[in-house]
């Protein structure tokens, strides 16, 4: 039987060690270094980089080949959390059980730390050594995929839609569109990049894209549910904030039980997309279930 806990722990250690080394090799000023490390090494789940590495393995590739892409994705995710927590956005005081970056330091430092992580992500993507033009073209494609997912056609647009929706009731279709951009885009990019770097064929990429879209949306549904009934001590952040901020969420539109059923349906569809893959995709199968069963 596949041991997901051991797999996640191992991959997290690999990602964390690599991120530590990247920070050491890109030293800036003392204050910004502290802020970068404070947020990046705060004990996140590392879902996006692990999905990237797992996608590489699923198509019989070497996860080491995708490690820099995986770390860049985590940097971009962390930058987005720093900025989401700012007073001008969600104004959150806790993240991963610790004061948010702007609380631990100050607002200006938090903005600059987020900016630094975003630009550093593309610095390391552009610094990967390669032996031939084919590899160069592949990495250029990865950079483009991540840039689109993180930018105004992906995560940024999703965040803008989220801000614009506060205080008004969305329909389920609009909510799905928003979260496909805000949460799903970077998750989809994680799987797509991992698979591309392992020379996945067109059919494999298509199945992994379907898997990614379903787990990306399921991830957000699970987050919405946790914001209603999660344990703040386990989650490391406040609950009930969606209702307080009058946000449209799956529980507010569908109800709690129907939201849980919808998440299960999405995971079932994700698992169906992996039916043509062999046991090398077992980590992806296990992670799909983990996404809706997690407590934080």
DSSP per-residue letters across 78-147? HHHHHHHTSTTTT--SEETTEE-HHHHS-HHHHHHHHHHHHHHHHHHHTT---SSHHHHHHHHHHHHHHH
pLDDT in tens, 198-219: 999 999 999 999 999 999 999 9
The total of structural domains in the chain comes to 1
Overall average pLDDT of the 74-82 stretch:
97
Residue 60 clears pLDDT 90, i.e. is over it: yes
Q: What is the CATH number of the domain that holds 129?
A: 1.10.600.10
Indicate the range of 51-65, 197-211, 228-242, 268-282 predicted with least confidence.
228-242
User: What residue numbers bound the domain in which 252 lies?
Assistant: 4-293
Higher local confidence (pLDDT), 234 or 59: 59
pLDDT band of residue 230 (cuts 50, 70, 90) is: confident
Residue 78 clears pLDDT 90, i.e. is over it: yes
Percentage with pLDDT > 70 across the chain: 100
């Amino acid at each position: 039987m596949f041991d997901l806990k051991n797999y996640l722990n191992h991959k997290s250690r690999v990602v964390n060690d690599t991120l530590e080394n990247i920070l050491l090799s890109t030293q800036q000023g003392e204050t910004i270094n502290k802020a970068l490390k404070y947020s990046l090494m705060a004990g996140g789940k590392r879902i996006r980089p692990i999905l990237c590495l797992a996608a590489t393995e699923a198509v019989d590739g070497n996860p080491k080949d995708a490690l820099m892409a995986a770390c860049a994705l985590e940097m971009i995710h962390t930058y987005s959390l720093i900025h989401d927590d700012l007073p001008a956005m969600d104004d959150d005081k806790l993240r991963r059980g610790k004061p948010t970056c702007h609380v631990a330091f100050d607002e200006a430092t938090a903005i600059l730390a987020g900016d630094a992580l975003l630009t550093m992500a593309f610095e390391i993507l552009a610094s990967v050594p390669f032996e031939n033009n084919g590899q160069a073209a592949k990495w250029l494609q990865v950079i483009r995929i991540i840039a689109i997912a993180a930018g105004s056609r992906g995560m940024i647009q999703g965040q803008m839609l989220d801000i614009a929706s506060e205080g008004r009731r969305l329909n389920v279709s609009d909510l799905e569109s928003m979260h496909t951009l805000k949460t799903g885009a970077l998750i989809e990019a994680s799987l797509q990049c991992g698979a591309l770097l392992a020379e996945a064929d067109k059919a494999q990429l298509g199945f992994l894209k379907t898997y990614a879209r379903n787990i990306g949306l399921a991830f957000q549904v699970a987050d919405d549910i946790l914001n209603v009934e999660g344990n703040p001590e386990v989650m490391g952040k406040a609950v009930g904030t969606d209702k307080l901020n009058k946000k449209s969420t799956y529980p507010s539109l569908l109800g709690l039980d129907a939201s849980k059923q919808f998440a299960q349906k999405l995971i079932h569809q994700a698992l169906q997309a992996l039916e043509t893959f062999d046991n090398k995709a077992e980590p992806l199968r296990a992670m799909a279930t983990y996404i809706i069963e997690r407590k934080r």
